[in-house]
Amino acid sequence: MADSRINDLLITGDQTYATIDHSVGRLVLDQKSHSIAWLKWLIGGVMGTGVLMVSLAWLIFQGTGTWGNNVPAAWGFDIVNFVWWIGIGHAGTLISAILLLLRQQWRNSINRFSEAMTIFAVMCAGIYPLLHTGRPWNDYWLFPYPNILGMWPQFRSPLLWDVFAVSTYFSVSLVFWFVGLIPDFATLRDKSTNRYAKLIFALLAMGWRGSNQHWHRYEQMYYLLAGISAPLVLSVHSIVSFDFAISIVPGWNVTVFPPYFVAGAVFAGFAMVLTWGIPLRKYYKLEHLITNRHLDWMAKITLATGLIVAYGYFLEVFYQWYSANPFEFKLLTNTRLDGMYAKFYWALIVCNVVAPQVFWIPKMRTNTWALIIVSTFVSVGMWLERFVIIPMSLTNNYLPSSDKPYYPSFWDFAMFAGTLGFFTMLMMLFIRFLPTINIFEVKDLLYKMKGQKEFVEGQAPVEVK
C-alpha cells in the first residue's frame, strides 16, 4: 500500500565497515570532498557572525535602547530568539539521550549532527539572556557566588532557574557530545594520513584503543550521561516556560505551558534536523546512512509533536474563554484572533498546525522538498509562536492605558540574522572538521543487522535488543 521507499532500511546498499568509514571519514580526511558551495555557506556564516559582532558591540556601547523594547513590552526579540534557539537544540538531546535509552537504533546516523546543532543553538540562545540585560557587566550577580555583601540571588525568580537550567544543559550536552566523539576520533586518527590531523585526532581520542575495557567504560559513561540528559530534555524548556507561566501577565500565566513548550521545542528541533539533514545527505551522498526511513520517522515525530502543540494552542484559547477572566479574554480577541497582531497569530496557526498535516500522506514524509518546505514552515511558525506569546501578550495590559505596540528595530533583526550566521558558520566548520555521522554506532548497527540474519531485502529491520 505505502510507497516502497519507506521500506528502506536504516542502512542501505551493500555496506561494509570500510565503506562506512570511508563515506563519513572522507568528509574530514579528504578535504577535496567539499565543494565550492561549502565555502560559500561558510562565507555567508562568517559574514553573519560579523553582523552579530557589530550588533553586540553596538548593543553594549549604546544599551538595550538600540532594540525596539519598551514599556510595556520590556521583552521582545531578545527573549523570542532565546526561546527559539533553546527549542532548536532540544531535538538533538532527545535523539541522543532519550532515543538511546529507548534503544532506538535509527538515532545512530542522525545523533551526531543533531547534537552539534544542540550545542551551537544553545550558544546562540545564550547570547540573548546574557546581553539583553541593561547592565550585562553585572550578569554574574545572577550566580550564587560567595561575596562580602552577603547577597544571594533571588531564588524565587524563574530567571535564576533559567541560569541553572541553561548552563547545566549546555555543559551536559557538550560533555555528552565529546564523549560520543572519542571512538570516532580514534578511527580518524587511524585513518588519517596527514600527520597534523593525526596528531590532533590522537589528542582528541585520548588514547582510545578500542579495548574491551574501553568499550565497557565508554558504555557506562555514555548511558550515565544519557540518563542525566534525558530529564534535561523535559526540564530545560519547562523552566524556560516558567519565565512566563510563573508571572501574572495575561497570556503568560498558563499552566499548560511546560509540556506545551517541551513539545514545541522537540517539534522545532526535528524541523531543524530535517532542514539540515536533507541537504547534508544529498550533497555528501549519505543517502545510504540517512535513509528515507529516517526521514519518514522524523516526519512522524514532527507530526506527532505538531499535534501536541496544536492541542496546546487549542487549550490556550479554550482557557482564555473558559476562565471568564476579562483580561485573558481581551487578550484573545485583541491580539490573537483579531487586532493589529492577528496576522502573526494566524500565520503561526498555518505554519505549526496546518502545514505539518501534510505528513499524514506517507509519500510526503519521504519527499525531500515537502520535508524541507514543511520544516521551514515549522521553524518560522515556532518563532512566531514565541513572538505571539512574548511581546504580543505584553502589549495587552491590565490597565488599557498602558497598551502600546511593540516594533522591533533594525538591530533586533541584525542580531537575529547574526545568530543565524553564527550558527551556520559553526555547522559548516563542524561538517568539515568533525565526523558528521557517528561512525562506530553505524558500524555497530551494521553488525547487528547483518549478524541477526534479518537483513532481508524489502522488509523493515526488526528491533535489535
Asked if 385 contacts 87 with a C-beta cutoff of 8 angstroms, the reply is no
Distance from C-alpha of 209 to C-alpha of 54, rounded to nearest angstrom:
45
Instruction: Name the minimum Å distance from CB 315 to other proteins.
Output: 21
Asked if 375 contacts 271 with a C-beta cutoff of 8 angstroms, the reply is yes
Q: Would you put residue 396 in left (φ > 0), alpha (ψ -120 to 50) or beta?
A: beta
Does 453 bind other proteins (CB under 8 A)? Our answer is no
The alpha carbon of residue 264 and the mean position of all alpha carbons in its chain are separated, in whole angstroms, by 11
Does 132 bind other proteins (CB under 8 A)? Our answer is yes
Instruction: Name the minimum Å distance from CB 268 to other proteins.
Output: 23
What's the one-letter identity of residue 299?
A
Does 50 bind other proteins (CB under 8 A)? Our answer is no
Distance from C-alpha of 271 to C-alpha of 124, rounded to nearest angstrom:
17
Q: Given candidates 7, 104, 133, 168, which one binds other proteins under the rule CB under 8 A? A: 133
Q: Given candidates 193, 399, 453, 465, which one binds other proteins under the rule CB under 8 A? A: 399
Site for other proteins in 233-262 (CB under 8 A): 243, 246-249
CB neighbourhood size of 405 (10 A): 13
Does 360 bind other proteins (CB under 8 A)? Our answer is no
Q: Given candidates 394, 425, 426, 431, which one binds other proteins under the rule CB under 8 A? A: 394
Distance from C-alpha of 86 to C-alpha of 178, rounded to nearest angstrom:
20
Instruction: Name the minimum Å distance from CB 385 to other proteins.
Output: 18
Could you tell me which stretch among 22-30, 126-134, 226-234, 315-323 binds other proteins (CB under 8 A)?
126-134
Instruction: Name the minimum Å distance from CB 151 to other proteins.
Output: 7
Nearer to other proteins, 222 or 244 (CB): 244
Instruction: Name the minimum Å distance from CB 62 to other proteins.
Output: 6
Distance from C-alpha of 206 to C-alpha of 313, rounded to nearest angstrom:
48
Q: Given candidates 13, 63, 227, 231, which one binds other proteins under the rule CB under 8 A? A: 63
| Per-residue interface string for the shown chain with other proteins, residues 66-85, x marking contact by CB under 8 A | x-xxxxxxxx----------
Could you tell me which stretch among 87-95, 127-135, 311-319, 418-426 binds other proteins (CB under 8 A)?
127-135
Instruction: Name the minimum Å distance from CB 142 to other proteins.
Output: 5
How far are the Cα atoms of 15, 116, 235, 257, 276 from residue 285, in angstroms, in the given order?
14, 20, 37, 40, 14
Q: Given candidates 26, 404, 432, 448, which one binds other proteins under the rule CB under 8 A? A: 404
Instruction: Name the minimum Å distance from CB 421 to other proteins.
Output: 18
| Per-residue interface string for the shown chain with other proteins, residues 147-176, x marking contact by CB under 8 A | ----xxxx-xxxxx--x-------------
Quote the cell numbers at residue 135.
Answer: 547592565
How far are the Cα atoms of 35, 129, 316 from residue 52, in angstroms, in the given order?
26, 15, 35
Distance from C-alpha of 97 to C-alpha of 417, rounded to nearest angstrom:
30
Site for other proteins in 165-224 (CB under 8 A): none
Nearer to other proteins, 251 or 269 (CB): 251
How far are the Cα atoms of 63, 86, 138, 408 from residue 59, in angstroms, in the given order?
5, 21, 15, 14
**Which of 166, 167, 233, 178 is closest to 205 using CA atoms?**
178
Cell 506527532 -> residue: 304
**What per-residue string of b and e applies to 98-111 under the rule 16 or more CB within 10 Å gives b?**
bbbeeeebbbbbbb
Q: Given candidates 100, 110, 142, 332, which one binds other proteins under the rule CB under 8 A? A: 142
Positions that interact with other proteins (CB under 8 A): 58, 62-66, 68-75, 132-136, 138-139, 141-142, 151-154, 156-160, 163, 243, 246-249, 326-327, 330, 334-335, 339-340, 394-407, 409-411
